[in-house]
Structure 1
């Protein structure tokens, strides 16, 4: 599950309780097993060094997967319901293609007799090729965070940012993580103690896909099931994607009370609390939180409880008690407002140098947030401290022993022994990448300081933060599957040190936060290669090439869309049913205004209206302590330990841009598959669950692009009541007396 806008995690639980292994053959010698039980039950302890890896098939399918996923993920990033096409889709989809190439390509050797001799078809399509293709696909999965900088500057601030400058920021922030990964890989990859729980899902899926499989009587093979789901998903998405947009958010309460502001605030799935709302659309379900089919039930239950508390208890109380003049603004919105309830015109407070004009700000008035937007920052503060305290209390001893094991004994693991047969990646390669990337980053920020605003010391300071936090957060991620984010901390620090410069703030955040996140991604991929016995140099090559290709494709796609889609992201001009509302970039832009342009001191500090929100830091630290004390008082109650306060508190961390309908639909789907079907139809779940998720992703992605190319580019749209996306126009209205907003009733 994805959490806290960029990060997420879970508790340490038995892997077999959530993702049972399939067809494993235990080894006879217990000394040759991993000391981590979950790894021992899932990862094979054999290897075939003669298996070809850098094959023609791997290059073709790997690069194709990387390009396709990069394009699709950036294409859907700007949409109201952004879809993240995961590497699992490619992992499953390339298998029949690889086998088809193995069956049809010529086996003749090219450049025979020379050191360049190779064959386009060295034999059957093997699991190591498949892993490397998936590593390529991983590079294109998710998002390139630095694209947010490009969108914020070009679309929202409408300022100059050259394509070359944008490329420098994108490539340096993506590649910088290799440096930190190289420094810490000996501590976070080789030791058995650093086991990276989420990789076991991939290992289990690889083994399932490559086991010999007979079609069950009256059933389908996994590949046949995948193609069937893909076809159905592809055909179905024409309804929510074009013909019947309303099923994206069926806010039936609004239909019953078409003139009631209160009812629409309660019932709107897009602009309200979403009571009773549901979305019959896979993009609605999986847009922000990822596929619920891949999340364990205990995590979904924690998210559900956290969502209910924040959405149906804290937010309504804060709104109806009129905290921070809440009734002057919508109950749920990511926009910024003036004290009169109108949208804040940021251009009024920016001077010609793209800095804060303090005199203009004092004249124009302070910036205001909607009730939920203010609460979500408080939740972010609380989630940060809750994660730290939770990990220390519940996993402190484990992490300490695991960490000491990582530093003192790094050679006992059978997988490390097998991997030492291969040539390792020299430390010098990582050092050169690190030094070169930092130098290029400093050059970019200094030479183009008029566009990026961040001085050389800001780059070094951001790198220092990433260097300091990569190891401890890496240990947490590698042992507990949790990764506390640095986004709020980096924004907070540079916002106090260097206020009034929005681009400097977001550049600092990306260099400090994303370079660490990228390092963890690379380390996790290295561990996957470690488990699957991929030669380290081949793994390194796939990661570097995939990262460079994905950076180029992401930026090229974003730039093309910004140039070709009229008024992209401008919700004041776009029609109500337009899919190009850019909710993620809107939140990123708002954050740059709050933390960078105006600065945290004038928002959450002693000069700000929301100073009391800072108490959430303390509340987040206390919450896990209370759970821990109850757990100690009632140690026999095992369910208490499943209360994960970082997940529970940070449940709504993706809101906004995520809305209520995304959460209600995700929770309901997760309950059906991760609880009901997992408990009562476990055989079906084990065989089809992940394949179903991948097929739904892939079919939706292909139809989404087809609709845009065939209809979107020509501005061909339907005009009927089913195109009304939410049907709750009054949900965004203020309810304070005397506040007049166009399209809303006035209260007196």
Structure 2
């Protein structure tokens, strides 16, 4: 094909390969780009980043510094930060808003400690200068402890090790739920063995699938990008081409470090600025109750948060600065659907909605409207007593919780058919390339040239070890799960994981498959809610772990960290993190038991996730009683999986007949993402949603399309800086004033910090 007569300058996030000339973070390519072949779009001389190919060429550097990765220093720093990772993961599991993993905070801590280590501890040259007679034996020892400059790969290894060790955060909640709702305690050794088995099984699964979910160019794993930007900015010419970006990181992180205590502690009203709430201050009580339902959202399970805006970055996060616009646009459709369904079901009185709270993931008694007494039904054996069930009646759910479960089931059904129909050809192509060892991704090729790959049998052994450890835990522990059901759970996880991993790699989001696991266990192990929890752990949670582990493997490919080093790090991190996650969970559940059992929660702590985990386990263990089609039955929940599976089929047929409608690509609708986000307003704090949407529009639409040069240079580093400042401060606040260590120190009450209960907080906002 013909080439343009003039070379084009492309703005990138980082300097390109060592063969390129780097000037002010721009790459003047030695060979002009063939825009006919690449189909690239230029705005103001810079390429608009649209897909994985653009990310590989213009965003992530191909440079391999060749510096050591796993050293004594990086290993010790990573191991030390493991404890922090476990703390942060457990803390944010019990927050009223689901937030992203705290990898930015760990990355920043690793950098500070690593640089201090390199500068403050003696080096080999110091030994040779001051102790020349001992230099022969002492020099290598000192060099082993402090090899000198703290490089990019050491930094990344320390951070990845700590994040790998924190991946068991969700798995340990099985044991938290046992303690909170069943007054049962599993022995610590058995619990840790169980968590470890699920962790390494997930890792073995990812390793076997890496040729289709990590190596290909189109598998971007978008949430890696802010971290990649931080690593490269800190270590690639920080005093030259990257000086401005490093300064930008410093300004944003310090600014957020100062702002976060104001937004989250001193003036928490800023987390839910609502003009309609204030305007209704003097309205009648009945009116204010309706207004709270529609516009309230600053406190957990208060309302839908319509037209609410938050200024608390710990909940907004940089996630929406890195996710592709395609994914975010589909999520906005889901949010709109969530508003419509929540209002319609509640005010329409579906399933006796007005007898119970508007929003909650807890179970309720049909007669009293209070929290359901499940202990009377299952007792300490965690096995159903039919006579007690007859006496106390069936548990009831809020209408919004019913819709959340329907949306989740629809998303699961849509996941399988959408991935199969729309991305099947890409996956098939990746499999063929893997079989022929012809992966064209430039980062993969560099890795292939420089480092030995991990043999498939290594991952197969890890997978088998995880399987047999889990089987042993089932036999030893009082899990109530039959061994044959454990095998079914593992097989289900192996089926689900490839679909979830593909969706996450392509679009930066995955679908919660928890309900599918619980539904199947409800059929196989009826009347056993604790068995249901364990079944879900070995199917759904294995998939969740796979996502975290695959993210780290993709980051290693971008940063050129040797594959075998990553294998050892992630295996070790999974082992170390299991015990720590269990210990931190035990501390939080013990100290915050009362608020975690509260069906509403408050601004700081919420048991919405663990309550939802338990609610699903109980209702699915009572499936034959609960999921019928009588007046109060929830039969639409399991049926939703078929509806969700049918939608992509219809969509695919339409897209083949009408590739575009009024200039819009019909293939860009992703129904599982829509359904997944159609429960966004059903629980927790909803005041942050509009700020997240605004962040995505500003970053991925306005900056990326209108100002691609600024976007390429600063977008991801700004997001990383804001995350770093917010996470560092929230870690400090959690253990100093928010009760993470057992003692809570509330800020003095004033109009910007009213009493932190839903009712009184809403009263202040004019919506009580």
TM-score interval for Structure 1 and Structure 2 normalised by the shorter chain: 0.7 to 0.9
- Aligned partner of 1:9 in structure 2 is none
Quick one: which of 571, 577, 589 aligns to 1:544? 571
Alignment-derived partner of residue 3 in structure 1 = none
CA separation in 2, counterparts of 1:19 and 1:339? 61
Question: What corresponds to 1:558 in structure 2?
Answer: 585
Tell me, yes or no, if structure 1 residue 611 matches structure 2 residue 626.
Answer: no
Q: How does 1:38-437 map to 2 (within 5 A)?
A: 38-42=55-59, 47=64, 49=66, 51-81=67-97, 83-92=99-108, 94-95=110-111, 97-108=113-124, 112=137, 118-140=143-165, 144-185=169-210, 188-189=213-214, 199=224, 202-203=227-228, 205-214=230-239, 221-255=244-278, 256=280, 257=283, 259-260=285-286, 261-269=289-297, 270-286=301-317, 291-311=319-339, 313-340=340-367, 341-410=369-438, 415-416=444-445, 418-419=447-448, 421-427=450-456, 429-437=458-466
TM-aligned CA distance change 1:210 to 1:395, over 3 Å: same
Say whether the 8 Å CA contact 1:92–1:694 is kept in structure 2: no
Corresponding residue for residue 5 of structure 1: none
Contact 1:376 1:652 in 2 (8 A): yes
TM-score by length of 2: 0.81
What per-residue deviation string (whole Å, max 9, x for no partner) do you get for residues 469-503 of structure 1? 44455455555656444322211111111011111
Find the aligned partners of 2:252 and 2:222 in 1 and give their Cα distance.
28
Residue 728 of structure 1 and its aligned partner are, at CA, apart by 5.8
1:741 maps to what in 2? none
Partner of 2:606, secondary structure, is coil
Q: Distance in 2 between matches of 1:212 and 1:72?
A: 31
User: Which deviations, in whole Å up to 9, do the C-alpha atoms of 1:612-670 show, x marking residues without a partner?
Assistant: 34443343234334544554425372454333222222213455444421322321332
1:582-611 deviation digits (Å, cap 9, x = unpaired): 222122122222223x2x333224677011
1:667 match? 693
**Superposed displacement of residue 190, structure 1:** 5.6
Other structure's SS at 1:334 match: coil
Q: Distance in 2 between matches of 1:480 and 1:671?
A: 16
Structure 2 vs 1, CA of residues 604 and 665 (structure 1 numbering), >3 Å: closer, same or farther?
A: farther
Q: TM-score, normalised by structure 1?
A: 0.83
Q: How much does 1:456 deviate?
A: 1.7
Pairing 1:434-583 to 2, within 5 Å after superposition: 434-449=463-478, 452-471=479-498, 473-475=500-502, 477-478=504-505, 483-565=510-592, 567-571=594-598, 579-583=604-608
Greater mean deviation of Cα atoms: 606-615 or 719-728:
719-728
Q: 1:206 to 1:234 in 2, by over 3 A?
A: closer
CA contact (8 A) 1:191 1:409 kept: no
CA distance in 1, matches of 2:571, 2:545: 12
Q: CA deviation at 1:677?
A: 3.8
Distance in 2 (alpha carbons) for counterparts of 1:322 and 1:578:
28
Cross-structure match for 2:15: 23
Measure how far apart 1:380 and its partner are: 0.9
Distance of aligned partners of 1:644 and 1:182 in 2 relative to their CA distance in 1, 3 Å threshold: closer
Q: Give ranges in structure 2 of 5+ residues lacking alignment.
A: 1-9, 21-28, 39-50, 128-134
**CA shift at 1:205, angstroms?**
4.8
- Larger deviation: 202-211 or 327-336? 202-211
Farther-moved stretch of structure 1 (416-425 vs 534-543)? 416-425
CA gap 1:373/1:670 in 2 versus in 1, 3 angstroms: same
- Mean Cα displacement is larger for which, 326-335 or 516-525? 516-525
Cα distance in structure 2, aligned partners of 1:228 and 1:448: 51
Pairwise CA RMSD of aligned residues?
A: 3.8
Whether 1:691 aligns to 2:717 is yes
Contact 1:73 1:84 in 2 (8 A): no
The Cα of 1:436 is off from its aligned counterpart by 3.0
